[in-house]
Amino acid sequence: YAIDIYDPRYGQPLPPLTIPRNNLERITNTALYAQDQISLSPEWKALLGVRFDFFEQSFRERIPRSQVDQTYFAATPRAGLVYQPLPELALFANVGTSFRPNIGPDAAAVALSGPFAPETGIGYEVGSKIDLFGGALALTATAFRVDRENVLTPDPNNSAFSLAAGAVRSQGFELTAAGQITPEIKLLAGYVYADAVVTRDNVLPVGTPLINVPRHSGSLLAVHEVQAGPWKGLGIGGGVRGVGERAADAADSFVLPAYVAVDALAYYRYENFRFGLNVENVFDTEYYESSLNRFRVYPGAPRRFTGTMTVRF
């Protein structure tokens, strides 16, 4: 109930609960996967694969009493083709389908027509990869498009629940670079442009951006490792990651601001041991990582230190 901040009246009787929840959900998913890579010739290679999913869900709502069961069997094939005219250059293309059940109380108890149908999709990708300087630097460029149906998104008219968007599309390109620039310096960099929007729905307007998907994002990481002398095995590195503005609710009524965060790392290798220290968000930058609606905005992690020790046998 509402309280007038200028004339508050405390001690009022509590209003009745309008959305009581007391539920039990059981989920079983069994999957089998088969894949084969075939060399058609010295320049051509093909990949064929398929995944079989057998999914069972039982959702029981105790208040009010109801029970929803659903069972699905799905086969999701994928195929790829690689053409390598030169040892340093590869051109590739692939296509694959996806299947993911929509589970949880929103999917099973809130939908008027019963549980939401599972999310399905199909994705396409074409690109190229080139190795430079004898394989020391690998550059990859990829264009992609993914079409999905029944994607759960927060309900713009009811912040507590979800709805399944009729169809959504994500398309764009990705650029990556990974290499051992010198024996001491390793570099990893990447950039992604993604345009993710609703393409068909009865509630959300066509063209509405998908929640929490930035149009621009990228990262850069460099590591220096000592190769000789008393400090051999010592590595020090740092990087930066940036994320652009993205829709913060299903109605696209406000956006989460762009942010840039800096990370650092250090490690030391000694025989079979590796001791490491990672520092995320070095400058303790305040940013917002994701959101569901105006009432549920999740801040990013503050400065965080993580220590590790690894032993190899």
Superfamily of domain 133-311: TonB-dependent receptor, beta-barrel domain (2.40.170.20)
State the pLDDT at residue 65.
Answer: 73
Closest CA to 203 of 145, 152, 256: 152
State the pLDDT at residue 156.
Answer: 73
Give the lowest-confidence range in 94-103, 157-166, 182-191, 273-282: 157-166
Both tokens of 269, joined, read 């290798």
pLDDT tens, residue by residue, 113-142: 567 788 899 999 999 999 998 888 999 999
Both tokens of 158, joined, read 């009811």
Both tokens of 124, joined, read 């396409």
Q: Are 76 and 51 in contact (CB under 8 A)?
A: yes
Both tokens of 270, joined, read 């000694």
How buried is 258 (Cβ within 10 angstroms: 0-12 exposed, 13-18 middle, 19+ buried)? middle
Domain layout of the chain by residue ranges: 133-311
Residue with tokens 């020090």, as numbered in its chain: 236
Element (H, E) at 305: strand 304-311
pTM above 0.85, yes or no: no
Q: In whole angstroms, what is the distance from residue 103 CA to residue 122 CA?
A: 20
State the pLDDT at residue 113.
Answer: 59
With a cut of 90, say whether residue 296 has pLDDT above it. Answer: no
C-beta atoms surrounding 102 within 10 Å: 20
State the pLDDT at residue 133.
Answer: 87
Closest CA to 83 of 130, 37, 48, 45: 45
| Half-sphere exposure for 121 (CA within 13 Å, toward CB) | 17
**Span 91-96, mean pLDDT?**
97
State the pLDDT at residue 109.
Answer: 54
Q: Are 220 and 208 in contact (CB under 8 A)?
A: no
Q: Are 257 and 293 in contact (CB under 8 A)?
A: no
Element (H, E) at 105: helix 105-105
Both tokens of 38, joined, read 């075939």
Please report which confidence band the pLDDT of residue 100 belongs to, taking 50, 70 and 90 as the band edges: confident
pLDDT tens, residue by residue, 36-48: 999 999 999 999 9
